């Protein structure tokens, strides 16, 4: 569910192809007129929350203090106001409600137990106004089987060499990841660090049932080669 310090340090370089502008347009197209306040769950290093803060009052939550530190520095540099909060989204407690919430970029796949995923939906509903909108995504079965599977790849960026090992356990619906980072130092040597992660595959029917049980009306609004994207509206 969270990224440790190694991934937080390299996250932006490894995700330099992310299209946050298109994500903002998709989100805005599904928000009603008069929407003012938003909540980004699993915000990472903050790019989407910062982009949205030009139109909405944004609060962003992540379990990684390192991610939040990077996000706060970005917001300061961009002269944008975003409230960053260090919390576990399965135990969300902010004491305020919002017009909409987001949970994108595989965040929910890092929630490894069905009961915990149910808690995310319930806690999110508690933090939304009536008719509030919750937009979230989950990785598809095809991604776990085809893109992940049991494979490895090399990622290279300026001054960074990374190997990404993937092991999909189909019978358990988990995929384990191991990242080995080699960052070049000024003297030509390299510093090595390691990151271990796990994601869980959820069946769409399970996701939709949990979301409905939490008090939402839910529909699938988009589908890519790798993700399902949902919009859930809190019932009054």
The pLDDT of residue 4 is 52
pTM value? 0.94
209 and 165, same domain (yes or no): no
37 and 74, same domain (yes or no): yes
Best CA proximity match to 58, nearest among 96, 11, 113: 96
DSSP SS3 for 219: strand
The mean per-residue pLDDT over the stretch 40-54 comes to: 97
The pLDDT of residue 5 is 64
74 and 95, same domain (yes or no): yes
Output the domain CATH number for residue 106.
Answer: 3.40.50.150
Task: Phi first, then psi: give them for residue 2, nearest 5 degrees.
Answer: -120, 165
Output the domain CATH number for residue 172.
Answer: 2.20.25.110
122 and 135, same domain (yes or no): yes
108 and 206, same domain (yes or no): yes
37 and 116, same domain (yes or no): yes
Best CA proximity match to 121, nearest among 92, 87, 83, 86: 92
At residue 6 the predicted structure's pLDDT band, cuts being 50, 70 and 90, is confident
Show the domain range for 176: 142-200
191 and 85, same domain (yes or no): no
- % the chain with pLDDT above 90: 93
34 and 44, same domain (yes or no): yes
CB 10 within 8 A of CB 160: yes
Could you tell me if residue 56 is left (phi over 0), alpha (psi between -120 and 50 degrees) or otherwise beta?
beta
190 and 121, same domain (yes or no): no
The mean per-residue pLDDT over the stretch 119-129 comes to: 98
Two tokens, residue 221: 């609004």
The pLDDT of residue 1 is 39
The mean per-residue pLDDT over the stretch 2-31 comes to: 86
- pLDDT, tens digit, 9 for 90 and up, residues 174-233: 999 999 999 999 999 999 999 999 999 999 999 999 999 999 999 999 999 999 999 999
Under DSSP, the state recorded for 97 is -
Q: How many domains does the chain have?
A: 2
């Amino acid at each position: 569910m969270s990224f440790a310090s190694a991934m937080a340090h390299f996250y932006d370089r490894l995700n330099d192809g992310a299209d946050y502008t298109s994500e903002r347009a998709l989100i805005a197209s599904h928000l009603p007129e008069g929407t003012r306040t938003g909540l980004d769950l699993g915000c990472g290093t903050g790019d989407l929350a910062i982009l949205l803060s030009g139109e909405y009052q944004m609060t962003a939550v992540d379990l990684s203090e390192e991610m939040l530190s990077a996000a706060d520095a970005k917001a300061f540099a961009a002269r944008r106001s975003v409230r960053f909060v260090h919390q576990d989204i399965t135990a969300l407690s902010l004491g305020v409600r919002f017009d909409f919430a987001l949970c994108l970029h595989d965040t929910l796949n890092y929630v490894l137990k069905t009961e915990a995923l149910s808690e995310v939906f319930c806690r999110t509903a508690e933090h939304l106004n009536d008719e509030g909108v919750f937009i979230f995504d989950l990785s598809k079965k095809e991604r776990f089987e085809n893109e992940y599977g049991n494979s490895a790849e090399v990622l290279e960026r300026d001054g960074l060499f990374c190997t990404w090992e993937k092991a999909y356990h189909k019978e358990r619906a988990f995929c384990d990841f191991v990242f080995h980072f080699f960052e070049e130092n000024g003297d030509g040597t390299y510093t090595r660090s390691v990151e271990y992660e796990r994601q869980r595959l959820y069946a769409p029917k399970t996701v939709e049932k949990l979301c409905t049980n939490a008090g939402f009306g839910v529909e699938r609004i988009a589908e890519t080669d790798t993700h399902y994207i949902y919009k859930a509206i809190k019932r009054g």
